[in-house]
Amino acid sequence: MSQPLRVLQIVPSISLVYGGPSQMVRGFSQALAAAGAAVTIATTDSNGDVDEAPLDVPLETPVAEDNYTVIYFRCSPFRRYKFSMGLLRWLWHHAHDYDIVHIHALFSPVSSFAAAVLRQRGVPYLLRPLGTLDPADLTKKKQIKRLYAALLEGPNLAGAAAIHFTSAQEAKISERFGAKTPALVLPLGVSPLPSPQTPIDVHDRFSIPRDRPIILFMSRLDPKKGIELLLFALETLHQEGLPFHLLMCGANPQEREYEQSIRERFEQSAVRSQTTLTGFVSGDLKASILQAADLFVLPSYYENFGIAVAEAMLVGLPVVISDQVHIWQTIDQSESGWVCTCDATSLAQQLRAALKDADERQQRGHNAQRCAKEQYSWQAIAAQAIAAYQTMLGSRETR
Q: What's the chain look like in SS3? A: CCCCCEEEEECCCCCHHHCHHHHHHHHHHHHHHHCCCEEEEEEECCCCCCCCCCCCCCECCCEEECCEEEEEECCECCHHHCCEHHHHHHHHHHHHHCCEEEEECCCCHHHHHHHHHHHHHCCCEEEECCCCCCHHHHCCCHHHHHHHHHHHHHHHHHHCCEEEECCHHHHHHCCCCCCCCCEEECCCCCCCCCCCCCCCCHHHHCCCCCCCCEEEEECCCCHHHCHHHHHHHHHHHHHCCCCCEEEEECCCCCCHHHHHHHHHHHHCCCCHHHEEEEECCCHHHHHHHHHHCCEEEECCCCECCCHHHHHHHHCCCCEEEECCECCHHHHHHHCCEEEECCCHHHHHHHHHHHHHCHHHHHHHHHHHHHHHHHHCCHHHHHHHHHHHHHHHHHHHHCC
How far is residue 367's CA from residue 364's CA, in Å, rounded to a whole number? 5
Q: Are residues 94 and 219 in the same domain?
A: no
Report pLDDT digits (tens) over 199-217.
899 999 999 999 999 999 9
Q: Is residue 1 part of a domain?
A: no
Residue 196 maps to a domain? no
Q: What is the mean pLDDT of residues 33-59?
A: 89
pLDDT at 82: 83
| Residues 119, 230 within the same domain | no
Whether omega before 109 lies within 30 degrees of 0, making that bond cis, reads: no
What mean pLDDT do residues 340-364 have?
98
* pLDDT number for residue 49: 64
Q: Does pLDDT of 53 surpass 50?
A: yes
Domain, as residue range, for 93: 6-189+377-397
Contact in structure between 282 and 16 (CB atoms under 8 Å): yes
Q: Give 270's pLDDT tier (boundaries 50, 70, 90).
A: very high
* 217 contacts 297 by C-beta, under 8 angstroms: yes
Given a cut of 80, whether residue 358 has pLDDT beyond it is yes
Number of domains in the chain: 2
Q: What is the rounded average pLDDT of the residues 66-92?
A: 89
Residue 398 has pLDDT above 70, yes or no: no
Asked if the structure places residue 218 within a domain, the reply is yes
Residue bearing the bigger pLDDT, 229 or 47: 229
- What is the rounded distance in angstroms from the CA atom of residue 329 to the CA atom of residue 323? 8
**Is residue 216 domain-shared with residue 347, that is, in the same domain?**
yes
Does 62 score more than 90 pLDDT? yes
Q: Phi/psi at 359 (nearest 5 deg)? A: -65, -40
CB–CB of 170/150 below 8 Å?
Answer: no
192 confidence band (pLDDT: 50, 70, 90): confident
Mean pLDDT of the chain: 92
Q: Tell me whether residue 230 is in a domain.
A: yes
Say whether both 144 and 282 belong to one domain. no
- pLDDT for residue 344: 97
- If asked whether residues 241 and 291 sit together in one domain, one would say yes
Q: What was the pLDDT predicted at 1? A: 45
Read off the pLDDT band of 80 (50, 70, 90).
Answer: low
Same domain (yes/no): 116, 137:
yes
- pLDDT band for 22, please (50, 70, 90 cuts): confident
Q: What pLDDT score does 24 carry?
A: 87
195 within domain boundaries: no
Residue 256 counted as domain residue: yes
What is residue 78's predicted lDDT score, i.e. its pLDDT? 62
pLDDT-derived band at 48 (thresholds 50, 70, 90) equals confident
Q: Are the C-beta atoms of 30 and 40 separated by less than 8 Å?
A: no
120 with 246, same domain? no
In this structure, are 248 and 296 located in the same domain? yes
**Domain check: are 109 and 133 in the same one?**
yes
Check pLDDT > 80 for residue 321: yes
Choose between 151 and 362: higher pLDDT. 362
Task: Give a yes or no: residue 228 inside a domain.
Answer: yes
Residues 83 and 224 grouped into a single domain: no
What is the reported pLDDT for 142? 84
Predicted pLDDT at 5:
97
Backbone angles phi, psi at 39, to 5 degrees: -115, 135
Out of 129-133, 140-144, 207-211, least confident range: 140-144
Query: Is 59 found in the same domain as 128?
Result: yes
For residues 255 and 17, what is the distance between their CA atoms, to the nearest angstrom?
13
Are residues 156 and 211 part of one domain?
A: no
CATH at 243: 3.40.50.2000
124 domain-assigned: yes
